[in-house]
Amino acid sequence: MGKKADGKVLAQNKKASHDYFIEDTYEAGMVLTGTEIKSLRNGRSNISDAFATIRNGEINIHNMHISPFEQGNRNNPTDPTRTRKLLLHKEQIRKLIGLSKQEGYTIVPLKIYVRNGYAKLLLGLGRGKKQYDKRETAAKRDAQRDIQRALREKQKIAR
């Protein structure tokens, strides 16, 4: 049997790119209990309010909501926003400890997806945006949209 390569995005934190400059990303495994993976596969999760912390050389994610599985059994976790442990290599954790201690940096969950049958969480090392940075990003996006619109119009006229 070959490996399954799903790569399906189960949850995404769209607010993260609006609030942070994402400078580096890390792929982490998650320690799930009971039927949490079934709820994840059904798309019953939310990571918009989630954040990661590092304590005692371990990285944990807080406020990640995974709804209980409807057809669950007694092994179903009762608290949907419990703290979950993330699995990273020691070198990656050490690097994250050093970078997140710097002023203005935080560890932000970006998306949850399935790779080779395992649920993965993409973590981003983010530096907070100021209000004027957000306006500047929006202006760049609008300018790019106008450029694309003008190019499409020019191609239509050329035909």
What is the pLDDT, as a whole number, of residue 146? 93
Angle at 115 between CA 111 and CA 116, to 5 degrees: 165
pLDDT band, residue 128 (cuts 50/70/90) = confident
Section 23-28 average pLDDT: 92
Angle at 57 between CA 54 and CA 59, to 5 degrees: 40
HSE at residue 28, side-chain half, CA atoms within 13 A, is: 30
Cα 19 to chain centroid, rounded: 13
What is the pLDDT, as a whole number, of residue 2? 42
Q: Per the confidence metrics, is the pTM higher than 0.85?
A: no
What is the pLDDT, as a whole number, of residue 32? 87
Section 120-129 average pLDDT: 88
Residue of higher predicted confidence among 56 and 159: 56
